[in-house]
Structure formats: C-alpha cells, structure tokens
Amino acid sequence: MRSLNGRYILRIEDIDEQRSREELVDELMRDLIWLGLDWDEGPDVGGSFGPYIQTERKTLYESALAKLKEAGLLYPCYCSRADIMAAASAPHGLASEGRRYPGTCRHLTKEEALRKEQHKKPSLRMKVPEQAIVFTDDIVGPQVYPLEKSGDFVVRRADEMISYQLAVVVDDALMGITHVLRGADLLDSTPRQLLLYEALGYTPPRFAHVPLIVDAEGKRLAKRNRGLSLSFLRGQGIQPQRIVGWLAWAAGLIPSPEPVSPSQLVQSFDMAQIKPEPIKLTHDALKMLFAPMPNLQ
C-alpha cells in the first residue's frame, strides 16, 4: 500500500479463459485510470515480477502442483458437481461453491482410480487436515476457521484450469506481496490459501477484507445492477472524484462525501477507520452520490 511506502501491482487474473476477454481487461484498466488510480508494475508498464497476466504464468502453477504432489498432498477426483450435490453427506461449504466435497475419491485405490480414469479425466484436490486456521484480518479482526468446513478443494480442474486459490497464492508469493486488500466475499477463501502458503513453504501476506456494497435489503449487487457500473456513472457525467469521495465516506475514511482524488487519500489512509459492515445502497445513500457536489479544486 502506498500509505506504507509500498508499491502497487496490477495483475490480470484471467486463468478462466472461457470467461476472460481482452475487451473486459481494456475496460477494467480504463475504469481504474478514469478513477485516478495508477500502478507501479503491471502488464502495460512492466516490472521486476512479471509476467503480470496469469495465462502467461502457467509454468509457475505447474511447478507448485508438482511440489504438492511430491509431498503427497493431492489426489485425483472423478466427481462431477452433480455428484457432490447429490451426496447425502455433503453439507454446505464455502458460500460461493455450494456443497462441501464429502471426500468421495480421497481413499480410492490405484486400481479404482485407473478404472475411473478410463471414463473421466480427473481434477486434482488438496487434502485438507482436520484443524483450524487462525489468523487476524486487518479489518474484520481475529478469525478461527475449521478447515473441514470447506472440505478437500480443487487446485486444478479436469479441463486443466488452475484454481483461483492456487494461482493467487503462487502469484502473491513470487511477486513479494506483503498486504492483500480485497472484498469480504473472499474472507472464507483465506484459510485455504494460508494452507497452501504453508504447504509450498511461502510466507503469507497480511490480509484485509473490505466491506461489500449491497442493495437496500442487504443483498449482494449482481449484473442486473448495471445502472451503477462505472461506465454508466461516467456516461451520466458524474466526475470520478465524486465517486471516490462517496466511497471513501461510505467506508469510513472521510467524514463527509466530498469530492476527492485517490492520491489525496494516501497520506491520511488508516485501515482502522474502515467499517467492517456492508455498505447499503439505501435511497438516502444514492441521493448523496447523485446530488450536486462542489467541484474539486
């Protein structure tokens, strides 16, 4: 973080190649620049820890997989999502993934695995120990997370796509990332990633999970909320300093929603001021965003 004299890296996480498109990357970078954000390293400016595009880092992920295999921490899994959903013993796991994997393939013999592989290419799962991961989040506070809640998780899909969990651990470790600031929806991914950091012999960064913006009922914003996208707001003539000021106020960083640029927030940035509660887009909150504000001098 620049408030700690750190460097900011832009990394394009495009390992899901079916969903990633070049025009979306271009739009993301345009939006960041329009908001007044910039980066010290990235795909367009280079740096010491490139490449900065995940699809160009596949050999690094394969090396990590080989290390985990050698340690006996991975096993092939032939279960489909439907198989897991149908398993009576599969309770809910991570919020984003539905049912917890019940360990169906964990104890297959080599002969059983070979028979299954004749009909289906397997994914690779990480063996999760029966222990709790304890860590302190810089915004949410102390966390105790029993790993068995999430079950053995996929590190490489059957179509050979590397999982988000493995890719970001390898990237953050090799890029020397010391602080990770991300959305609260990824809080329950942190225990898995800490397990991978330990298994791969990496030093984990500090984590801080910022509150999400939700609708007035507390539900997470979805694609149907396109009317609040940056491209829409820009099209309505709303200045980026107004959006940054509103976000900074809603997060608890400044006392009122006045126009401000990201660079102006650096020196006074204090993680302790960020409220952990979700930011609700109530009628009054939206009025503050769209109401006229004085121009930034």
74 lies in a domain? Answer: yes
70 lies in a domain? Answer: yes
pLDDT of res. 224 = 56
151 vs 90: CA distance, rounded Å: 9
Please report, for the domain that includes residue 261, its CATH number. Answer: 1.10.1160.10
- Per-residue confidence of the chain (297 residues) as pLDDT tens digits? 677 778 899 999 999 888 888 888 999 999 999 999 999 999 999 999 999 999 999 999 999 999 999 999 999 999 988 777 766 454 444 555 557 888 899 999 989 999 999 889 999 999 999 889 999 999 999 999 998 777 899 999 999 999 999 999 999 999 999 999 999 999 999 999 999 999 999 999 999 999 998 888 888 876 555 557 788 888 888 899 999 999 999 999 999 889 999 999 998 899 899 989 998 888 887 777 776 555 444
pLDDT of res. 156 = 97
pLDDT of res. 292 = 58
Q: Verify that 127 and 230 share a domain, yes or no.
A: no
The alpha carbon of 99 is separated from its chain's Cα centroid by a whole number of angstroms, namely 20
| Residue 1: CA count within 13 A, CB half-sphere | 18
190 lies in a domain? Answer: no
21 lies in a domain? Answer: yes
pLDDT of res. 100 = 82
Helix, strand, or coil here: 194? helix
pLDDT of res. 90 = 47
3-state DSSP: the chain helix, strand, coil percent, rounded to 5?
Answer: 40, 15, 45
Residues 6+ apart with CB under 8 A from 171: 11, 54, 57, 60, 177
Q: Verify that 107 and 152 share a domain, yes or no.
A: yes
188 lies in a domain? Answer: no
10 lies in a domain? Answer: yes
Domain boundary among 113, 146, 172: 172
Domain assignment of residue 11, given as a range? 1-54
178 lies in a domain? Answer: no
242 vs 257: CA distance, rounded Å: 8
Q: Is 150 exposed, middle or buried (0-12, 13-18, 19+ CB in 10 A)?
A: buried
Helix/strand/coil (H, E, C) string of 227-274? HHCHHHHHHCCCCHHHHHHHHHHHHCCCCCCCCCCHHHHCCCCCHHHC
Q: Domain count for the chain, please give it.
A: 3
Q: Verify that 88 and 164 share a domain, yes or no.
A: yes
Q: Say if strands 123-126 and 132-137 run parallel, antiparallel, or are unpaired.
A: unpaired
89 vs 104: CA distance, rounded Å: 10
